[in-house]
Amino acid sequence: MTDSTRLSAHEVAAHFRTGDLSSRDATTAAIEAAERGNRALNAWLSIDRERALAEADAADARLRAAHASGAAAVGALHPLLGVPVALKDLVSIKGGQCTAGSRILEGYRAPYDAHVTERLRAVGAVIVGKTNMDEFAMGSSTEHSAFGPTANPWDLERVPGGSSGGSAAAVAAYHVPLAIGTDTGGSIRQPAALTGIVGMKPTYGRVSRYGIVAFASSLDQIGPFARDAQDAAALLHAVAGRDERDSTSAPVPVPDGLLHLTASDDEAAAGLRGKRLGLPKEYFVAGMEPGTEARVRAAVGALEAAGAIVEEVSLPHTDYGLAAYYIVAPAEASANLARYDGIRYGPAARDGDILANYLATRGAGFGDEVKRRIMLGTYALSAGYYDAFYVKAQKVRTLIKGDFDAVWAAGFDAIVAPTSPGVAFRFGAKMDDPVAMYLNDACTLPVNMAGLPGVSIPCGLADGLPVGLQFIGAPWTELGLLELARGYEALTEDAEWRALEPTDLALSLDPAVPTPVERTAVAGTRA
């Protein structure tokens, strides 16, 4: 038995079924990897060994019972049974911490399980712990966490992307094969791209957000991180579907095909033949790094060589996406974050009358980026500016959605595009310039504005750092997108870069290496 942390979830599941690996062993290995790597990476905000091992033992009991009843019972087991998984620290686990990366939720204990937590428990997945994130999911680097930044296992001096940077780093660094993130403007796909893994933002309404800390409610969506398309599909299947406690979760059937993405490379590659893919010219944005563009164009060439029909398309309002998003998202955030008042939960500053308490609690509890967005949103919604900003942005949103609708109406199966304009950047590089930081999301946030599914998959390295390829589809086409992703994986199965592990993975296990907090303190980048 090789080191189980190097296996994908479906490989772990296969070992469970042959009986040469137990969930307790796989979970123990995951916890040890997470604990060893966390000094250098700061990917985890909490690890609950006791609970995880109890869940692992329960999974092992189910595995043993299935083995005792025969092959049919073993075959019917869920592929995630007993598999270690990480949750972004904005997913509620009853009785557990849920900081959303913020001081204002320090000490808060979730009073109930999120829908996602319940579903993972139901299929028997093992929740190892909670991962680091930009505060309230606002950011593209995980540098905005109140608990220090997360490092990228490809280069410990660089960010893993964000906001779900902890989940991405934990999967990329082989702590766990699977993790849950959320994506409001790219917060799953961009960190997946920057750490060289698979990350999917499903269609708005695909996964119930009950028990998730809200950022921008018309944009937020929950999705999977994994090291391959098959695993991402299985995790999405486990958590997707209608839940009456989130009225925005849609009564749309979840395709069982997500559990059965083909394992055959030949079959997966053959599936690309005749697929019509649109290549949006506006996504090769000004300021895009040449290495990233070259990798993405090479990947598109490989898809074409495999029989996909690639045609340039235009999404003419792309350039307006950033400005419209940075009105809509902060406006919704300013409303959602009004609840953090120090009265019902969270730290409370006492400073006189109730108004003074609000000012003190919120002034001390929120970090710089969150304050910036609350200010932007409050301004955009204030009397006299509502039409000029918020309504205008919502109208532009209609135009952005219309751009995509025209592509689907023209018969395209999907759009293929870069995920991010560049590779992982150094700590501090964009911390003093919010607009430069926001540009990271230029290729991902239009997808949230239009409510569409999108997946980022690794497509090689530029300057030794991972580059992401993004597939975007019409609503509810997650299965088709993951089949395209699986097809591209098959084409590049033997590519040299696929065999490489993250450059600083070994270094991340060195107990003498500086923590990300120490690194950024030296660089003088923390406000």
Partner 1 sequence: MATLSRDEVAHVAHLARLGLSEAELSRLEGQLNHILEQYAKLAELDTEAIAPTAQTIELENILRDDVATPSLPVEEALANAPERRGDFIVVPAIMSGE
Report the 10 Å Cβ neighbour count for 76.
9
Nearer to partner 1, 258 or 449 (CB): 449
Q: Shortest gap between Cβ of 259 and partner 1 (angstroms)?
A: 24
Catalytic residue among 187, 249, 420, 508: 187
Nearer to partner 1, 24 or 362 (CB): 362
Q: How far apart are the C-alpha atoms of 190 and 519, rounded to whole Å? A: 23
Nearer to partner 1, 298 or 338 (CB): 338
Is there a catalytic annotation at residue 395? Answer: no
* Cα dist from 452 to 165, 210, 319, 492, whole Å: 22, 20, 18, 26
Q: What string of DSSP letters covers 225-237?
A: EESSHHHHHHHHH
Place of tokens 């505060």: 135
Q: How far apart are the C-alpha atoms of 398 and 390, rounded to whole Å? A: 13
- Alpha helices by DSSP H, listed for 42-146, are 49-69, 71-75, 115-123
Q: Shortest gap between Cβ of 234 and partner 1 (angstroms)?
A: 24
Going by DSSP bridges, is the β-strand pair 44-47/126-131 parallel, antiparallel, or unpaired? antiparallel
Say how many residues make up the chain. Answer: 527
- Alpha helices by DSSP H, listed for 2-70, are 9-18, 23-41, 49-69
Is there a catalytic annotation at residue 382? Answer: no
Nearer to partner 1, 383 or 499 (CB): 383
- Buried/exposed 477-488: b ≥16 CB within 10 Å, e otherwise: bbbbbbbbbbbb
Q: Shortest gap between Cβ of 110 and partner 1 (angstroms)?
A: 9
Q: How far apart are the C-alpha atoms of 488 and 482, rounded to whole Å? A: 10
Catalytic residue among 163, 334, 420, 508: 163
Nearer to partner 1, 216 or 272 (CB): 216
Place of tokens 């042959």: 18
Q: How far apart are the C-alpha atoms of 185 and 441, rounded to whole Å? A: 6
Nearer to partner 1, 349 or 523 (CB): 349
Q: How far apart are the C-alpha atoms of 168 and 164, rounded to whole Å? A: 6
Q: Shortest gap between Cβ of 404 and partner 1 (angstroms)?
A: 10
What are residue 97's phi and psi, to 5 degrees?
-70, 155
Nearer to partner 1, 226 or 331 (CB): 331
Q: How far apart are the C-alpha atoms of 44 and 57, rounded to whole Å? A: 23
Q: Shortest gap between Cβ of 434 and partner 1 (angstroms)?
A: 6
Q: Shortest gap between Cβ of 454 and partner 1 (angstroms)?
A: 13
Q: CA-based diameter of the chain, in Å? A: 70
Catalytic residue among 88, 130, 275, 430: 88
Is there a catalytic annotation at residue 88? Answer: yes
Q: Shortest gap between Cβ of 480 and partner 1 (angstroms)?
A: 18
| Three-state secondary structure call for residue 336 | helix
Task: Return the active site residues.
Answer: 88, 163, 187
